[in-house]
Amino acid sequence: MRPVTRTLSPPETGTTFVENALLKARYVAHATGLPAIADDSGLVVPALDGAPGIHSARFAGEDADDDANIAKLLRSLTPALDRSARFHCVLVALEHGDDPAPLFASGSWAGEIALAPRGDGGFGYDPVFFDPALRATAAELEPATKNRVSHRGVALRQLVELLKNR
């Protein structure tokens, strides 16, 4: 089976990471007639009532880029606020578009929002997501380290185990 290489994505109309990941997986499975795996991920900041959350990619607007989203996040958090944050990821695997028993895996990565961006790696909020245990932002980590500790890495390892036991 060949992987699908074109981008297929429906409107993200869900209100949770789970709903959006399932929407994406069902959309791709129906469109291709193939099994599908999809994710929905985002940054959750308790001091902002969970924002940016499911709107992480469009926090500063529908056409916002990473820099605009980071700028809005930093403006929203004054230094006196609790700066705790976590990345969250939900992965969904379907055998077909109408699969009545999708597999769900999730992962979280706890950290803090830095006062200013640091590092050149990664994407999205990586330059301002600081891991206190590693004493670095996600953008400063080597890819292997990031994959070991990140929300997506945790969720993917969990999904692999679920697929082995399906």
Catalytic residue IDs: 40
- 82, 95, 156 from 135: Cα distances, Å: 18, 40, 24
Distance, CA of 28 to CA of 60 (rounded, Å): 27
Tokens of 14: 């869900």
- Distance of alpha carbon 52 from alpha carbon 12, whole angstroms: 14
Select from 145, 144, 143, 115 the least CA-distant residue to 129: 115
- Please tell me the distance from the alpha carbon of residue 141 to that of residue 152, in angstroms, as a whole number: 15
User: How many residues does this entry show for the chain?
Assistant: 166
